[in-house]
Amino acid sequence: MRIVEQTLRAQMELSDREIEKRKALFDLTDSDAKILHSCRSIIMERLDSTVDEFYARQISDPETALLIGDVETLTRLKGAMRIYILELFGGVYDEAYINSRLRVGMVHWRIGVTPKYFLSALRRLHVALCSAIEEALDNPIEIHARKEAILKILFFDFQLVFDTYINALSAKVNVAKEEADDYAKGLEEQVTRRTKQLRELSLTDELTDVNNKRAFTDHAKREMATAQRTKTELALLFIDINDFKLLNDTLGHQAGDDLLINVAQQLQTTARETDVVCRIGGDEFCVLLPNTGYATARKLAERFADLMHEEAGVPVGASVGIAATGPTSFCTVEELLKASDESMYRAKQRNKKQGQPGMVCIDEELEPIVGSDAPTNDDAAVTDDEPVALSQSAD
């Protein structure tokens, strides 16, 4: 059920048992209800003068007068007070009466009347009502009994009003808490997103948008651990651009940057979904190849060479080294990287001897890595001895 479809009493969960318990706390009995009802005619005869007396006392206080504000508001308040007083002496204090008092409290809370002002007004109302009783009656015992009954019903009213204050304040606190929780959650999500973005930035090469050296280390350790656990092979391609410094010196750094971006794109095109392309140095790239042996790694290197050959306008070539480990014996990540680096160096030296700097040269020499399995005949299979052309522009 929506809140707006509930009475204030239902919202505040004031059961009949709780109401009777509160009446007992203030000694508000059926006898008091009868006494109050017997005063109704007396109060009705003096209703206007009682209300006037009450508000005369109210506006004599500067702070209270400021809360009332103007004559139109004062007139409306006097009309509401007449109804309130008549309900006090109705003699029936049922659910309708309870809801009426709770609404009084809610209205006062919403217009900013704090408990101290409400309690002060209640005391002044008590004085005004007692004056009306004293004026109408001569018997001290009757006067005392009626004053006591009036005091009880006013205290009963006040605790209901005070409950609405507490309930409203609690609701306000809950709303503020929910807003704070939502803000904190949103902030946490934002921090998580930003942290993820920062981590991605810290692991991504700014120029080529592939993994950087730090990311390579993380990936390599993880993939090596996976290969050892699953007893699968792990291969690594090491790519170094030929004469990169000469390119920068002759054509400018922008040409060098463009070439690095191009190489990264071609490596990503070559790589499979599970492969990891990284830039680990100025003109050096690595590609981690999970669950891959030497033969397959070489085919991927040849595919990269073909793609670079098809790329028009590439002024220099590259050298590609290959290393693999597993599936039963494994080297370390450092050893795998060193072996692929040495393989790349052999490819570079062969390229220089052949005098073809514009080619992508893949190392042809296959030798086992320390701690790895010996290569099979299939692993040893290679293509012809000629380097694969990267560009015709070197001519």
**Res 381 pLDDT > 50:** no
Residue at token pair 């490819």 = 347
Checking if the pLDDT of 388 tops 50, the result is no
Is residue 373 scored above 60 in pLDDT? Answer: no
Whether residue 376 is predicted with pLDDT greater than 60 in this model: the reply is no
Would you report the helix, strand and coil content of the chain in percent, each value rounded to 5?
Answer: 65, 10, 25
Q: What is the structure's pLDDT at 314?
A: 61
pLDDT computed for residue 49 by the predictor: 92
Distance (Å, whole) CA 270 – CA 267: 5
Please, are residues 237 and 287 in contact by the beta-carbon 8 Å criterion?
A: yes
Q: Tell me: the pLDDT tens digits for 290-303?
A: 999 999 999 999 99
pTM passes above 0.85? no
Going from N- to C-terminal start, the domains of the chain cover 3-181, 213-389
- Give whichever of 81-90, 351-360, 371-380 has the largest mean pLDDT: 81-90
Tokens (6 digits) for 119: 């309690």
DSSP codes, 25-80: HTT--HHHHHHHHHTHHHHHHTHHHHHHHHHHHHHTSHHHHHHH-SHHHHHHHHHH
> Distances in Å between the alpha carbon of 388 and those of 259, 288, 295?
18, 22, 17
Mean per-residue pLDDT, 348-363: 76
Closest CA to 85 of 171, 150, 163, 34: 150
pLDDT digits (tens, 9 = 90+) for 165-196: 888 888 788 888 888 888 988 888 888 888 77
HSE-up of residue 312 (Cα within 13 Å, Cβ side):
0
Report the percent of the chain where pLDDT is more than 90.
Answer: 49
The single-letter DSSP state of residue 204 is B
Mean pLDDT of the chain: 85
Query: Could you say which of 3.40.50.720, 3.30.70.940, 1.10.490.10, 2.120.10.30 is the CATH number of the domain covering 3-181?
Result: 1.10.490.10
DSSP 179: H
Superfamily name with CATH number, domain 213-389? Reverse transcriptase/Diguanylate cyclase domain (3.30.70.270)
Which of 73-77, 103-107, 337-341 has the weakest average pLDDT? 103-107
* pLDDT tens digits, one per residue of 131-171: 999 999 999 999 999 999 999 999 999 998 888 888 888 87
Tell me whether residue 93 is exposed, middle or buried, using C-beta atoms within 10 angstroms of its C-beta: 0 to 12, 13 to 18, 19 or more. buried
Residue 146 CA to residue 246 CA, distance in Å, equals 110
**Predicted pLDDT at 393:** 30
Q: How confident is the model at residue 5 (pLDDT cuts 50, 70, 90)?
A: low
| pLDDT tens-digit map of 40-60 | 999 999 999 999 999 998 899
**307 pLDDT higher than 80:** yes
Q: What is the structure's pLDDT at 280? A: 93
Of the spans 7-21, 66-80, 165-179, which averages the highest pLDDT? 66-80
**Cβ–Cβ contacts within 10 Å for residue 283, how many?**
20
Tell me, what's the pLDDT at 4? 54
311-329 mean pLDDT: 83
Residue 382 pLDDT level (bands cut at 50, 70, 90): very low
Residue 78's pLDDT band, with cuts at 50, 70 and 90, is very high
Please tell me the predicted confidence (pLDDT) of residue 225.
96
